[in-house]
Each structure stands twice: as structure tokens, then as C-alpha cells.
Chains A and B, each alone.
Chain A
Amino acid sequence: MRIDPVVKSMESAASELDLPIQSVALQRLIAEVRRSDDPHVFDATAYNRTYHRHNR
């Protein structure tokens, strides 16, 4: 159920948090998180990285 949001500012957060996308070896970053890095990965996009906690 949705409730009315109270805080909804579209003001930009601190730019300190944002890394400009056209910077710092972007292709390296993409390669680091690409699924095809690992040939054994199934559908990682539908995977919850804390899933194991629920299987203890």
C-alpha cells in the first residue's frame, strides 16, 4: 500500500557523492560488475545478495 510521501525534494544531493560518469576508467568499472565476468552465473539480476541469510 502506498502512502503519501512527506519528504520529496528533487533538490540535488551533495555532489560529493556523485562520480562523473565520463571519468575514472569507466570501462573498467563496467567490466568489474558485468555478469559475463563469471561464466557460472545464472540470472544474477534476479538474485538477492543477502539470500543466504534466509536459508540458515
Chain B
Amino acid sequence: MAMLTTHDPYAPLNPAECVEQPFRYFLAERCLAPESAAALLEWLEIDAPWTLVETDFYEQFEFDLRDVVLPPALAPLVDPAMLDRLRHKMEATLGDSLSEHVEVVAHRLDPGQRIGIHNDMREGGETHRLTVQLNRGLADEDGGFFMLFNSDNAEDIHRILRPVSGSAIGFAIGPDSHHAVSRLHNGVRYTLVYSFHAAGRA
């Protein structure tokens, strides 16, 4: 049996709640190992190569982790073997078979920024998403809530999630996977966004 020589930064991910409607998603209280989360947050704050991206309905800072050389302490986050373990957890939790192709993007939301309601659908694009929250602690008055909807009507709210650092939501992308991020008023809200593809589609 092969020895696991790299510690698994995703070992703590243990979905606590799985929901089928209005779309399939799960919540986890913690996704990353504490040492990985701490090192990552510090790197995101100080050294990460952020680029401002502006589109019609959102603006935020982001970069693709595939485009940078990560510090050794963070390298396991994009280690193919570790991403494979993460992919298997997604498969087991959401019940779908996924391809080996996984993308990891870091997002940063600054005060004043928000992400309007959308569903992440793109023809031929990724089919599953995992979003991990990272921050120094955001109060309710700071905003930055992850909002889930029953439809494309912004008033048709299914659930509002606080951006608790370390927590994660995974979901299957589809016509009904409407979500948004409310405006951030104070602090900085970081997320790691993992994209997965259904097996046979990547």
C-alpha cells in the first residue's frame, strides 16, 4: 500500500448537512486543517497576487491557484493526490461521479463589493462547486452572507449563511442553483472556490 507522504489539508471536511431542494448542496463546519487555514489566510492577506475582476454583476479580486507558486506549507492544497481525496468526498456526499480535473481559485471580497444572484451554469463548464470561507471573523453587520434562493427571484430566499471562517458549502451546479453574496460592509472576505466536472464531461 502506498504511503501518504503529504498531510491531507482537507481531512477535516465532514459534511454535516445534506440538502436536496431547491438544489443539491451540503454544508460543513470546517473544511481545512487548522494549520493549513492559518497559513493560507496569512498568505492571502500578505503575498497573494490578487487581480481585480469586474463583470456586469460583480467585481472582486481573484486569482487561479494554478498560476502561482505556493509556499511549501500551502502546496498540499493543490497537490493532485489531495485534490483527488477532496473530489472523492464531493462524490460521496453529492452522489455524483466526478472527473479528475479540479480547479481552485481564490476570491477576495472587499467592503462595498457583492455578487448578484446567479446559478454558475455554463454550457460544457464545471458541474459542481465547493466554496470555503476564510476570514478574521465577520459579524452580521459586516455582511458578506452567502445567500441561497428557491428561484431566480431575489426575494425567494431559501437560506442565508454566515461567512464563518473555515466553513464550506458544496453544491451541484444546475438551472436551480441560484445563489449570491450580499454586499460586504466591513472586513475582508476570502473564499477558496473549487470547481469539479462530472465524469465524462471534462
Q: Please, how many angstroms separate the alpha-carbon atoms of A50 and B196 in the complex?
A: 13
Q: Please, how many angstroms separate the alpha-carbon atoms of A14 and B91 in the complex?
A: 22
Q: Is B135 an interface residue (CB 8 A)?
A: no
Asked if B121 and A42 make an inter-chain contact with CB atoms under 8 angstroms apart, the answer reads no
Q: Is B16 an interface residue (CB 8 A)?
A: yes
Asked if A18 and B116 make an inter-chain contact with CB atoms under 8 angstroms apart, the answer reads no
Interface string of B147-159 (1 = CB under 8 A from A): 1000010110101
Contacts of A7 in B (CB 8 A): 14-15, 18, 26, 92-93
Contacts of B96 in A (CB 8 A): 1-3
Known: A17-B167, A38-B57. Is A44-B118 also a contact (CB below 8 A)? yes
Q: A-side binding surface: helix, strand, loop or mixed? A: loop
Q: Please, how many angstroms separate the alpha-carbon atoms of A38 and B91 in the complex?
A: 36
Asked if B105 and A50 make an inter-chain contact with CB atoms under 8 angstroms apart, the answer reads yes
Interface size grouping (class) on chain B:
35 or more
Whole-angstrom distance between the Cβ of B158 and the nearest chain A Cβ:
9
* Interface set, chain B 182-202, CB cutoff 8 A to A: 182-183, 193, 195, 198-200
Known: A30-B157, A49-B118. Is A13-B92 also a contact (CB below 8 A)? no
Contacts of A32 in B (CB 8 A): 114, 143, 182-183
Asked if B164 and A16 make an inter-chain contact with CB atoms under 8 angstroms apart, the answer reads yes
Interface string of B135-176 (1 = CB under 8 A from A): 000001101010100001011010111101001000000010
Contact of B56 among A13, A41, A46 (CB under 8 A): A41
Complex: chain B residue closest to A6, CB-CB: B92
Q: Is B36 an interface residue (CB 8 A)?
A: no
